[in-house]
């Protein structure tokens, strides 16, 4: 029982490539303040600031997303000094945001609640700015299952801790289930880009999204652990058999929210360790830094290809 005008607007937006919101209440609000970005429709000309955005890249760490902005500045051959890029969200310390030509680089913190708050405000921002034909990619880190550390996994399907392709959310005291389908063509395009980079392996696999890094991912090394090593190994084996190749903490809600708003989305994560071999991440810092560049290199190649810079 959604208002008819809302349905009409939704269909039009889909056809002309505009980013749509799925909330009938928004249209009647005199102002929309995106609190965690410190940006608003009354205080900022969002269309002038963001109207030309084509690629949105999100990742957990603020420093990594700043470094990505600087890297992309060089890759796209833009004028000016890449060290001068300014955090658009400097009015808040919740998230950081950099705009580099048609690319927006934003941090989302760790876990489902943190990325979900960011995505609500990001999708509204793209909608208010009248952005068209936007592609959104999460670049992250993860724990691999049965893969050589440093392998890049492009998510085929994001699954929950029961290996199901769904995201469960509690809304008004009821459990609501959303699909976590991602864009298959986009995943294949990204896989091709990965295969053109000889320095590391890239695969497509299912990604399990958990609500915890320790017990929730079957780790034995947290402050609390309620299961045996045998039970852990069995769970990871079952995950592998269900097609899961890596584990992280945001993909399911990212996929679900983008799917509901018809945003073309992908998840590209590097694996930091093979969880069948252990739980602790003791790899040297320089190696981890190089691993974290891998999704960035792959996504940069993809964007340059799309912008016909290659």
Chain residues in the site for ligand URA (CB under 6 A): 141-143, 213, 217, 247-249, 272
> Contacts with ligand R2B in 47-66 (CB under 6 A)?
60
Question: Segment near ligand R2B (CB under 6 A), from 86-94, 134-142, 216-224, 259-267?
Answer: 134-142
Judged by DSSP in three states, 220 sits in coil
Closest CA to 104 of 153, 42, 22, 49: 49
Report what 107 binds from ligand R2B, ligand URA, none; CB cut-off 5-8 Å by kind.
none
Helix intervals (H) in the chain = 4-15, 46-50, 62-75, 112-128, 184-195, 229-241, 251-260, 285-306
CA distance 41 to 47: 9
Q: Any contact of residue 150 with ligand R2B (CB under 6 A)?
A: no
CA–CA gap between residue 201 and residue 81 (Å, rounded): 32
Q: Which option in ligand URA, ligand R2B, none does residue 187 bind, with CB closer than 5 to 8 A by kind?
A: none
3-state SS, residue 20: coil
Stretch binding ligand R2B (CB under 6 A), from 8-16, 63-71, 85-93, 247-255: 247-255
* Between 38 and 270, CB nearer to ligand URA: 270
What residue has token string 């899961």? 244
Does the footprint of ligand R2B cover residue 249 (CB under 6 A)? yes
Residue 194 contacts which entry, ligand R2B, ligand URA, none (Cβ below 5-8 A, type-dependent): none
Mask: binding to ligand R2B, 176-215, rule CB under 6 A, as x and -?
-------------------------------------x--
CB 276 within 8 A of CB 167: no
Residue 60's binding partner among ligand R2B, ligand URA, none (Cβ under 5 to 8 angstroms by kind) is: ligand R2B
The correct pick among 124, 183, 250, 296 for binding ligand R2B (CB under 6 A) is 250
Cα–chain center distance at 16: 24
**How many chain residues touch ligand R2B (CB under 6 A)?**
9
- Smaller CB distance to ligand R2B: residue 121 or 248? 248
Pairing of strands 55-59, 33-34: unpaired
User: Which phi and psi angles does 107 have, rounded to 5°?
Assistant: -90, 155
Question: At 207, is the secondary structure helix, strand, or coil?
Answer: strand
Query: Which long-range contacts (C-beta less than 8 Å, at least 24 apart) are formed by 28-32?
Result: 32/124, 32/128
Stretch near ligand R2B under the rule CB under 6 A, chosen from 215-223, 229-237, 242-250, 282-290: 242-250
Contact (CB, 8 A) for 139 and 59: yes
Euclidean distance between CA atoms 88 and 75, whole angstroms = 21
Please report whether residue 271 would count as binding ligand R2B according to CB under 6 A. no
140 binds ligand R2B (CB under 6 A): yes
Q: How far is the CB of 142 from ligand R2B (least distance, A)?
A: 6
Residues that bind ligand R2B (CB under 6 A): 60, 110, 140-142, 213, 248-250
């Amino acid at each position: 029982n959604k208002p008819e005008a809302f349905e009409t607007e939704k269909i039009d937006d889909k056809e002309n490539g505009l980013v749509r919101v799925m909330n009938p209440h928004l249209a009647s609000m005199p102002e929309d303040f995106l609190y965690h970005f410190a940006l608003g429709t009354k205080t900022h000309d969002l269309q002038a600031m963001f109207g030309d955005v084509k690629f949105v890249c999100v990742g957990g760490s603020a420093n990594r997303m700043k470094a990505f902005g600087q890297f992309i500045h060089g890759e796209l051959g833009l004028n000016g000094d890449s060290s001068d890029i300014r955090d658009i969200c400097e009015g808040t310390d919740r998230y950081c945001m950099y705009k580099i030509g048609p690319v927006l680089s934003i941090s989302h913190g760790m876990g489902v609640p943190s990325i979900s708050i960011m995505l609500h405000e990001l999708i509204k921002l793209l909608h208010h700015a009248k952005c068209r034909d936007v592609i959104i990619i999460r670049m992250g880190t993860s724990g691999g299952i049965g893969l050589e550390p440093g392998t890049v996994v492009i998510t085929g399907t994001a699954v929950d801790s029961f290996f199901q392709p769904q995201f469960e959310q509690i809304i008004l005291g009821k459990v609501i289930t959303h699909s976590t389908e991602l864009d298959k063509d986009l995943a294949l395009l990204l896989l091709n880009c990965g295969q053109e980079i000889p320095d590391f392996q890239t695969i497509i696999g299912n990604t399990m999204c958990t609500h915890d890094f320790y017990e929730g991912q079957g780790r034995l090394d947290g402050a609390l652990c309620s299961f045996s090593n045998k039970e852990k190994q069995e769970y990871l084996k079952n995950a592998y058999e269900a097609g899961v190749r890596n584990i992280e903490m945001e993909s399911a809600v990212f996929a679900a929210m983008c799917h509901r708003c018809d945003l073309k989305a992908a998840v590209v994560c590097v694996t930091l360790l093979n969880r069948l071999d252990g739980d602790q991440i003791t790899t040297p810092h320089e190696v981890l830094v190089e691993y974290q560049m891998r999704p960035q290199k792959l996504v940069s190649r993809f964007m340059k290809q799309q912008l016909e810079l290659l």
